A and B are shown apart, each in its own frame.
Chain A
Amino acid sequence: MSNHEMTSHELLEKWLDGEQLTEAQQAQVLANPETKALFESAQSWQSMASSYVEQEVPSDTPIVMHEFKQAGRAQRNWMQWGMAACVGFLSVLSVQLWQQNQTLEQGLVIQQSQIAKQQDTMQQILAQMQKSQTLQADLTNQVLLTNRAEREVALDDLLAFLQTQRAQDQAILRLQLNELAEQVEHAPIQTVAHNGGQ
């Protein structure tokens, strides 16, 4: 059926179903008193519908829809479980980390105390070494001093001995000279050499 063959009722239905009418078609609808009244009434309804302000769903009214609540509750439960699992996981992780930290801290403390002990030992060894060095130096000095003193004493003794020997030799020589002199004095003249006269 072409548009020209449509009745005013059919055109009204077409318009009511959301299709646009041409001016001629609209005129055809308005030409019929029955369809004209319906058309105008429908136009009024359309304008009222477009001016209608959609109201918000009251949020303060408790919604008793079981499934709705269940769905919300299920979601909340899921989220709560998720949160609880996260919190649990994090707490276990933190406890493990804390334990690891504690172990590491203990290890560090042990290592530090061991290092401190080793440092003490080293310092003691160093002190002992210094002491022994000092002792050795003292000993060396003492040995040197003793040697020097002994040497001096020995030299003095030697000098004294030599001086004594010399004195003894001189005394002996003096005695011998005296004897000779006596012999010469007491000997006859012939036996005395005349070194100057010959």
Chain B
Amino acid sequence: MFFQSQDKLIQKAQQGDQAAWLKLIKQHEKQVYNHCLRLTGNSHDALDLMQEAFMSVYRSLHNFHGQSQFKTWLFSVTQARCMDFFRRQRQSSPLEEVSEAAHTPSCPIQLQSDNQYIHAALQALPFEQRQIVELKFFQHFTFEEIAEQLAISPNTVKSRLYSALGKMKAPLEVIRVES
């Protein structure tokens, strides 16, 4: 009785069981937080995004009927909140390319851990490509699942991923040489 299945938790949360909802959050908050952290590059924005994402999930929980995996659905909601977040950010600072350039891992010696380097490498990518890299390599979704989450075609997903891989080739080589 102590370990309830995720389906049961979702069902209970849909019926208004607050404890089940909290358990559901606990099961996924680390994944979502780290996902947001890699996308935003800082913990404050990641926390805000995670909260926004969970709020959206809570509000639209009754719309989830198990047509896809809960994780896929949760990440699609999170992606939507991330896109809103970056749209707002882009409006407030139109020189995103400049700020992104400042985060490029041009001097990885200054970065003290793998995590920091990964954050910097991700920040060097445009948001759309960063999203794809994150979902592909960190969340291990298939092209179809990513396409479903982002409401774009699988071909667009592939082309964005290949662009990202092409861009990251140079910094990764630098790292490999330095290590």
Contact = CB atoms under 8 A, between A and B. Distances in A.
A94 B19 CA distance: 32
Contacts of B50: 57
A45 B165 contact: yes
A66 B55 contact: yes
Contact of B33 (A52, A55, A68, A71): A55
Contact of B22 (A48, A61, A71): A71
B18 A71 contact: yes
Contacts of A56: 30
A123 interface: no
A64 B50 CA distance: 11
Contacts of A74: 18
B70 interface: no
Contact of A48 (B43, B114, B142, B165): B114
Contacts of B140: 18
B97 to A, nearest CB: 21
A66 B58 CA distance: 10
A41 to B, nearest CB: 4
Among B38, B51, B166, max chain A CB count under 10 A is at B51
Interface in A38-65: 38, 40-42, 44-46, 48-49, 51-58, 61, 63-65
Interface string B61-77: 00000000000000000
Interface string B101-124: 000000000000111011001000
Interface string A135-160: 00000000000000000000000000
B19 A75 contact: yes
A93 interface: no
B34 interface: yes
Contact of B47 (A16, A44, A63): A63
A37 B172 CA distance: 11
B169 interface: yes
Contacts of B166: 37-38, 41
A44 B55 contact: no
B30 A46 contact: no
Given A41-B172, A49-B137, A57 B51 contact: no
Among B22, B25, B114, B165, max chain A CB count under 10 A is at B165
B165 A41 contact: yes
Contact of A75 (B22, B25, B121, B161): B22
B136 A16 contact: yes
B118 A52 contact: yes
Given A17-B142, A45-B168, A67-B58, A52 B114 contact: yes
A62 to B, nearest CB: 10
Contact of B137 (A45, A57, A70): A45
Interface of B: 18-19, 21-22, 25, 29-31, 33-34, 37-38, 43, 47, 50-51, 54-55, 58-59, 113-115, 117-118, 121, 133, 136-138, 140, 142-143, 158, 161-162, 165-166, 168-169, 172, 176
Interface of A: 13, 16-18, 37-38, 40-42, 44-46, 48-49, 51-58, 61, 63-68, 70-72, 74-75, 78
Given A18-B142, A38-B166, A58-B47, 4 more contacts: A41-B172, A63-B47, A65-B54, A68-B25
Across the A-B interface, give the 7 residue pairs with the lowest CB-CB distance, nearest first: A71-B18, A41-B165, A65-B51, A49-B137, A44-B172, A45-B137, A67-B58
